[in-house]
Structure 1
Amino acid sequence: MTEIKGFTSRIVHHDRLQGFADGPVHAPIYNSVPFAYATTAELVAVFQGRASGHAYARQSTPTTDSLQSLISAAEHGIGTLVFATGMAAISGTLLALMQRGDHLIASRFLFGNTHSLLATLANFGIEVTLVDATDCANVSAARQANTRLVFVETIANPGTQIASLDEIGQWCTQHKLLFIVDNTITSPYLFNPKNVQAGLIVNSLSKYFGGHGTVLGGAITDTGQYDWTDYPNIFPAYRQGDAHKWGLTQIKKKALRDMGGTLSSDGAYQLAVGAETIALRMDRACANATALAILLERNDKVEAVYYPGLASHPQHAKAQRWFRSFGAILSFDLKAPYDCAALLDDMALVINATHLGDNRTLALPMASTIFFEMGADKRAALGIGDRMIRCSVGIEDTEDLISCFAEALARLSPKVDANSQ
């Protein structure tokens, strides 16, 4: 058979080439919780990891296995585990791999719920240092004797800062530290973290993999770049056989089997179908985001625009070098005294909702929603002001989207402070 090289070609033909009985084009939905074996010896071999198979649906089904294989192909990984949500993937992985007294370094420019999770880890006795990861020197300066891993996002949400991915990857390799990269905002279509020595890749499948805002899911992919014999926290029971599998084996046993953040077969099916159009959707959404960023940057009611596709972005050159395109997430600050709610409520084509990677353009004010619990001081340290709006740009017709924003901005009037009257 001719080798399938293209990104979309590999995804749309993935399921039918898996060898399912009767030749379905899509992987069947296996809703069974238990799996039976002809002999006790076969069941024991599966439980002990000496034979492939499914012990219980909390850990895997043929449907979730098929999705895992698809994601591994997209990310050029050696294996993947899927979870009920992206946060389940992150939390399960960190809790499975880290112990009390360990230390991790993370970018301070992270999704709000990831920030919250890291604070929870600190309550469990795991040290966390947040740094400006746009400069690898800050990561290096935070290293301690008990440092186990470094965690960053590709393009930060909502400020769109870009970590020094290649330098951090090289530094982690030099010091035998695990490098975890959250690829959600870029997706494997725009960027492959394996190229910067990432050992594990996170994807919130709810976003660009699914694309339609209908299903939650998350994934952890092992790139094969990290030598798990160097990781001190692998339990003796999992230090058997191929060392490349040690990390995912421990995460599967501890995060899926023990913690139970399981993706259903129905969810896996929906995500696999949604994934078929990642490239088409991302091309359109990225083009729309670029056009919208240019419009906003030229508008006299906008103070600043945060989008890697603009030449004014501090990491624009890195984004050009690393990413196929600049992503579909942008944020902008309105000038005082213009009001975020007044603008958002006046745009019929833009949905007030918290989500990313949807086919529809979504927007919300950052300070009063996702980052509200953080408090004003911490928000300010992250560059999140009271007039910041984040947009997840969709696939609408470009002219309609641009007209919607342009007309709403033209109608926007200064907010009058009632106390001044």
Structure 2
Amino acid sequence: MSATPQYGFTTTILHSDRQKEIEHGSIHKPVHTSVMYGYSDARDLAAVFQNKQSGYRYGRQGNPTVSALEEKISKMEDGQASIAFATGMAAIGAVFQALLRQGDHLVSSSFLFGNTNSLWQTISAQGVDVSMVDATDVDHVAAVLTPATRMVFVETIANPRTQIADLKRIGDLCREKGILFVVDNTMTSPYLFRPKTVGAGLVINSLTKSIAGHGNVLGGVLTDTGLYDWATYPNIAANFRKQSVRMQGLAQLRAKALRDFGASLSPEAAHQIAVGAETMALRMERECANALALAKMLDADPRVAVVHYPGLPSHPQHALASDLFRAYGALFSFELKPEIDCFDYLNRLQLAINATHLGDTRTLVIPVAHTIFFEMGAERRAEMGIADSLIRVSVGIEDTQDLLEDFSRALDPV
């Protein structure tokens, strides 16, 4: 019997559903809306509940449409299995709800998405010790490790200042110390980067962003890369130790986070995400090319104080980004000269939309300090290098020249 061919990224995603038999010859996995699953033999039902055979129990814990999406994501990340959630934040929260206990220690990059930063405050108040460090240098991570350190958490490219974690060396450190390395891959997407290549045990993606890509559906996902030895993780409950070692982490995550907290992805949302994912590579190529062109134009304009984008040689981690990522991403931020009001500038843009989102087909802009990072206060913003004039840009798929003219025209009255 001939071996299955090894296809490229987009071909694999396009034909993923068809690797298994689909009802009525459908090309896409159909949307299964039932929340319950009947069995003609009650022994089969019991066997499914006891994890002795595969099957579905209840919609909150699994669904055929959601499962098909989870398999797609696992292929994207070269992982062994994935769990989908209702939002990206639900996926992040699941890691800590299911795997951390009072007295545990978490090391996190200090350059974080605002809501993740807020979540750290919550778990810190619940008894988990959190150390925030500049993860662009592995030495900062190593300096705060303790015997209670259970995991290290980083984003690939920080939102919004685009700092890049010292991913490979942090992965090496975690492997040496037996610590779980958790990487949020949202800002790069599985197309630009696979955190498994730097030793990540768990990978997080906000499905809402580049994977779905059209700003019309929420979702998040956790992928187990198969690299972490769960036999060494002290917080796995006895009943999940009965699973194979490779699946113990996901089994506990699915039960303690997905089942118990109920942040389940709907089958309708899973279907939308799966269809959106088919064009991710095509969208990302265009968005990254647009972002590089726009960042270069703004960087050369004397009315712009600074542009933060890994694709620019002036970026502190430009060489690292060039080594790790397929492209430099579709998000950048920039600061205008002090005499230019950022709100007036944003209001002069005609194509770019004032909105809080990223990874969309449309270009989106937002004044960071006054919106998504306002809640954390001026002191914390200063620690993260977020100036009052900082504008975040999530670049879309518009025609490049139209974007260049829009951002340049908005500077003309200055």
SS at match of 2:30: coil
Corresponding residue number in structure 1 for 2:246: 244
Aligned amino acid, residue 175 of structure 1: K
Instruction: List per-residue Cα deviations over 1:206-232 (Å, max 9, x = no partner).
Output: 000110000000000000000000100
1:142 paired residue among 141, 144, 151:
144
Q: 1:20 Cα shift?
A: 1.5
Aligned mates of 1:130, 1:40 — CA distance in 2: 51
2 CA distance for matches of 1:267 and 1:99? 32
Structure 2 residue aligned with 1:371:
373
**Residue in 2 that maps onto 1:120:** 122
Corresponding residue for residue 95 of structure 1 = 97
Identity of aligned residues (%): 54
Contact map agreement 1:206 1:215 (CA 8 A) in 2: yes
C-alpha deviations, 1:234-259, integer Å up to 9, x for none?
Answer: 00000013100000000000111000
Deviation at 1:188, TM superposition (A): 0.6
- Displacement, 1:403? 0.3
Letter in 1 for 2:345: L
- Verify the 8 A CA contact 1:191 1:322 in the aligned structure 2: yes
User: What amino acid does structure 2 have at the position aligned with 1:283?
Assistant: E
RMSD across aligned positions (CA): 0.8
State the shift of 1:18 in Å.
Answer: 2.0
Residue 392 of structure 1 corresponds to 394
Q: CA deviation at 1:135?
A: 0.2
Q: CA–CA distance in 2 between the matches of 1:410 and 1:117?
A: 41
Q: Tell me the distance in 1 between the aligned counterparts of 2:390 and 2:23.
A: 52
Q: How does 1:154-303 map to 2 (within 5 A)?
A: 154-303=156-305
1:45 lines up with 2:47 in the alignment: yes
The count of residues paired between Structure 1 and Structure 2 equals: 412
C-alpha distance in structure 2 between counterparts of 1:173 and 1:46, whole Å: 34
Asked whether the 8 Å contact 2:84–2:221 carries over to 1, the reply is: yes
- How far apart, CA to CA, are the structure 2 residues paired with 1:20 and 1:129? 47
SS of the residue corresponding to residue 228 of structure 2 reads coil
* Native 8 Å contact 1:18 1:66 kept in 2: no
1:310-389 → structure 2 map (5 Å cutoff): 310-389=312-391
Offset at residue 40 of structure 1 (A): 1.6
Which ranges of structure 1 fall in alignment gaps of 5 or more residues?
A: 414-421
Q: Distance in 2 between matches of 1:372 and 1:9?
A: 42
* Cα deviation, residue 410, structure 1: 1.3
Partner amino acid, structure 1, of 2:239: A
Residue of structure 2 equivalent to 1:416: none
Alpha-carbon separation, structure 2, partners of 1:165 and 1:351:
32
SS of 1:304 mapped into structure 2: strand
Aligned partner of 2:300: which letter? R
CA distance in 2: counterparts of 1:283 and 1:310, whole angstroms: 17
**Match of 2:410, SS?**
helix
2:110 to 74, 99, 108: 108
* Distance (Å, rounded) in 2 between the aligned partners of 1:74 and 1:219: 12
d(CA) in 1 for partners of 2:204 and 2:234?
21
Is this contact kept in 1: 2:80–2:224, CA < 8 A?
yes
2: CA distance, partners of 1:181 / 1:161 = 14
Partner letter of residue 93 of structure 1?
V
SS at match of 1:3: coil
TM-superposed CA distance for 1:332, in Å, is 0.3
Partners of 1:300 and 1:280 lie apart in 2 by 33
Question: Normalization by structure 1: what TM-score?
Answer: 0.97
Q: Report the secondary structure of 1:10's partner residue.
A: helix
Q: Partner of 1:208: helix, strand, or coil?
A: helix
Moved over 2 A (4+): none
Structure 1 distance, partners of 2:301, 2:99, is 47
Which has the higher mean CA deviation after the structures are superposed, 39-48 or 61-70? 39-48
The answer for the alignment partner of 1:406 in structure 2 is 408
TM-score (norm 2): 0.99
Task: Check the 8 A contact 2:23/2:30 in 1, yes or no.
Answer: no
Alignment equivalent of 1:306, drawn from 301, 308, 332: 308
The separation in 2 between residues aligned to 1:159 and 1:310, in whole angstroms, is: 13
What are the within-5 Å matches in structure 2 for residues 57-72 of structure 1?
57-72=59-74
